[in-house]
Structure 1
Amino acid sequence: MSQIIDENDQIQPPGHSAPPHGTAAPADVSATWASADLPSPLPMADAALPAQLRDLTERARGYVEAASSANTRKAYASDWKHFSAWCRRQNLSPVPPDPQVVGLYITACASGTTERGMKANTVSTIERRLAALGWNYAQRGAQKLDRKDRAIATVMAGIRNKHAAPPRQKEAILPEDLIAVLETLGRGSLRGIRDRAMLLLGFAGGLRRSEMTGLDLGRDQTEDGRGWIEIFDKGALLTLRGKTGWREVEIGRGSSDATCPVAALEAWIKFARLAKGPLFRRVTGKGKDVGPDRLNDQEVARLVKKTALAAGVRGDLSEAERGQMFAGHSLRAALASSAEVDERHVQKQLGHVSAEMTRRYQRRRDRIRVNLTKAVGL
């Protein structure tokens, strides 16, 4: 295993020798190999390049960034920073990729010894960290990380066998709960009108957080938009770019304006005086103004958790337990669990590629739909 650490605890790339004692590592070295910023596989625009090639380089870099979501890029950057920091503390180098080093790292992650006071990572977190390392090595033009090497694959298999557990699903906010949740929102405030529209639209559409906050009022209105809305007499049509590509989500009008997602959406657009750009925005000026900035998708999770707690949903549990049970996925799970229609319609609405994935979101359903015991005559 390579150990290329200088006296200033700076990680050096292959081929570099550590500088003399007391000499700082070159700034570009530490920025390239120890930074949390995601790298680009394309060369930086150079003044020596013709102008048209510099422009193409910048455009290509934009496409590279668009190849993954902002949340994925943020997670991968954080994972590379985490791995680099662990390597520094162990006097190891993260480059070139060394399966033995990575094997020791995921062992530390599983045992909670990557840094003082940290808990052991879950299996899913460790798998994501491995994916992030492979991606980062590829983007930095380094040698490919061989995840099938026994120093990684065998350790990872043991981690899965020893620590894997069923996923902890978020609690669904069912229709009867949603009505109570909506009552916690102020009817006369801009923030309350916006939050009501978000909850009802997220519930009826089975939307992901990023799909909801990525909506614009019309097509091609913003560079960071991930879809747009169209409102008709019978309901609303959302055109979304999600994990599985573009899809359309139809949301019909409800039986009552109090719980109708389309009516709530129209009220928000009217009172916020929106004409173009992001649909869901920050409310500013002590709740009296609407800013131009798009809401962060984390705001959806916070809204669901805050209102579910305020409404007393699952009041049979402690507040600490309830606080862990609700998030943005509670709305998607609610639609999957509540819609009394053919499962295929729910699958299409949620944008799932398989019925099995849709069933994972169903919190209440007939679990034993096919009785094989009786089918064999027992």
Structure 2
Amino acid sequence: MTDQDVTRDLSVIQEQLQAQSSAQDAIPAADALQRLSDLRERRTELEDSNLAENSKTAYAHDQERYGRWCKQMGLPPLPVNPEIVSLYLTDLSELIRSDGKPAYKVTSLRRVVSSLARLQYDTGGGRGLGDHELIARTINGLANERQERAEGRDPLLTEDVLKVISHMDHSTWPAGVSSARDTFVVLVGFATALRRENVAGLTAGNLTIHPHDGLHVRVGRTKTDQAGRGALLAVPYGQVPATCAPCAWFRWASLLAADTIEERMALVLSTPRNPDDWQHVCRGAFPELPDDAPVVTRVTKSGRIMMNRVSGTALYKRLLFRLENAGYDPDRYGFHSLRAGFVTQALIKEATHKAIRNQTLHKTDMMVDHYDRDNLPLRNNAVTKLGL
């Protein structure tokens, strides 16, 4: 929809309003038109805020690629045409990666449909692209043909987390700086079961030390809380210093708060090489940081801490780097492995579904059951009662 279209539509609305109002009640036409235009812009902002940043990025990528494909084929990208979209989806479904696997899974194609449905709505084409019979038949046909199995990530359990931390270089400059940051990320990611975007978005104001609970983590919008009501997650003081998240936060916060390279170097060099030799430091006075200071920041190879936050994708790549250094196959894991590991470890320890959901923020037991089936197939399984 062009600016001229918007102005024309608003003018019609304003004329209708004036026709229904008495002369003394109606505000000047120019003022009313300007106010309606401002309201429309504000409504657009509210619509945009309903989408997570990752969704916006994915939508923009999908829409741009669709536009390029239409241009190559000599087809009009707008208005969004279900016939053209179905052909585009068919074309994407035939793309093959270098390893011989389809470049687009059915789940990815469904996301493309969502992206183009958003494009249709934003350009005045209304809703319903995903429900169009032609689109639905194309997607459902591919799903039936491929019978793709959802590929989850292997979980990282408590012993795996400790192994990853133990293989980091904590006491050497400058490697110890990034090791302190990554230790904090791994422990908080595991103990809170937060997704990588939520961990990457933490600020110092989101983290507080409670005298009894341990570390309080205040989170805002999550995948299961798009309204952004927020939640308070607690991570207790660890039984051992190596897996104590409050201790990890103290070490990393001390580096963040240090004013000079010399101070940071002294903190790193005073850290015992072996995590088994660490002592609890979580009961002391924590360094003060501005509430809006990003927590997970970039660290240069020279040990400098850059006060700009890293992305969720960067956290994912960093975890794979740490896993590979610890002898794990990075192809089997992702940042979600920490979340899956939390659920799996909790189930092994006989935690209830409700207790697990208090931390994972899942709405129902269904997703907890999913982890149960995929990672602990013999748990509560009657096959163990057969006497085999």
Q: Provide TM-score, normalisation by structure 2.
A: 0.73
Structure 2 residue 304 is matched with structure 1 residue 324? no
**AA partner of residue 70 (structure 2):** C
CA deviation string 1:121-172 (max 9, x = no partner): 1000000000111011101222445333332121221111012311111111
Match of 2:246 among 262, 275, 279: 262
**AA partner of residue 365 (structure 1):** L
Match of 1:349 among 327, 346, 359: 359
Secondary structure of 1:78 counterpart: helix
Match of 1:104 in 2: 87
Identify which of structures 1 and 2 has the higher relative contact order when contacts are C-alpha pairs closer than 8 Å and 6+ apart. Answer: 2
Match of 1:296 among 289, 292, 311: 311
- Give distance in 2, aligned partners of 1:61 and 1:154: 32
List aligned pairs for 1:301-316, cutoff 5 A. 301-313=316-328
Q: Unaligned 5+ residue runs, structure 1?
A: 1-12, 14-27, 30-41, 219-227, 314-321
Match of 2:208 among 216, 222, 230: 230
Match of 1:282 in 2: 298
List aligned pairs for 1:205-216, cutoff 5 A. 205-216=192-203
List aligned pairs for 1:136-175, cutoff 5 A. 136-175=119-158
Structure 2 residue 229 is matched with structure 1 residue 239? no
CA deviation string 1:260-312 (max 9, x = no partner): 01110121112210333212112247113x22211111121112111111101
Q: Is the 8 A contact 2:299 2:306 kept in 1?
A: yes
Match of 1:358 in 2: 368
- Give distance in 2, aligned partners of 1:275 and 1:284: 22
- Give distance in 2, aligned partners of 1:256 and 1:368: 28
1:295/1:236 CA distance change after superposition, 3 Å: same
**AA partner of residue 58 (structure 2):** A
Secondary structure of 1:301 counterpart: helix
What is the CA distance between 1:343 and its match in structure 2? Answer: 2.3
Secondary structure of 1:248 counterpart: strand
Match of 1:336 among 336, 343, 362: 343
1:374/1:323 CA distance change after superposition, 3 Å: closer
What is the CA distance between 1:119 and its match in structure 2? Answer: 4.6
Q: Is the 8 A contact 1:201 1:262 kept in 2?
A: no
List aligned pairs for 1:26-105, cutoff 5 A. 59-105=42-88
**AA partner of residue 218 (structure 2):** T
What is the CA distance between 1:81 and its match in structure 2? Answer: 1.0
1:252/1:138 CA distance change after superposition, 3 Å: same
Q: Is the 8 A contact 1:98 1:145 kept in 2?
A: no
1:103/1:327 CA distance change after superposition, 3 Å: same
CA deviation string 1:214-238 (max 9, x = no partner): 11111xxxxxxxxx12211231111
Secondary structure of 2:156 counterpart: coil
- Give distance in 1, aligned partners of 2:135 and 2:83: 7
Segment drifting more, 138-147 vs 237-246: 138-147
1:285/1:369 CA distance change after superposition, 3 Å: closer
CA deviation string 1:84-138 (max 9, x = no partner): 1111122111222222111111111112289xx9954100000000011101110
Percentage of matched positions with identical amino acids: 25
- Give distance in 1, aligned partners of 2:53 and 2:116: 17
Structure number with larger C-alpha Rg: 2
- Give distance in 2, aligned partners of 1:180 and 1:250: 23
Match of 1:10 in 2: none
- Give distance in 2, aligned partners of 1:360 and 1:95: 40
- Give distance in 2, aligned partners of 1:233 and 1:61: 44
1:230/1:365 CA distance change after superposition, 3 Å: same
Q: Is the 8 A contact 2:80 2:119 kept in 1?
A: no
Q: Is the 8 A contact 1:96 1:143 kept in 2?
A: no
Segment drifting more, 130-139 vs 103-112: 103-112
- Give distance in 2, aligned partners of 1:180 and 1:266: 21
CA deviation string 1:236-273 (max 9, x = no partner): 11121212222221111110112101110121112210
Secondary structure of 2:291 counterpart: coil
- Alignment RMSD (CA, Å): 3.0
Q: Unaligned 5+ residue runs, structure 2?
A: 4-8, 11-29, 258-288
Secondary structure of 1:324 counterpart: helix
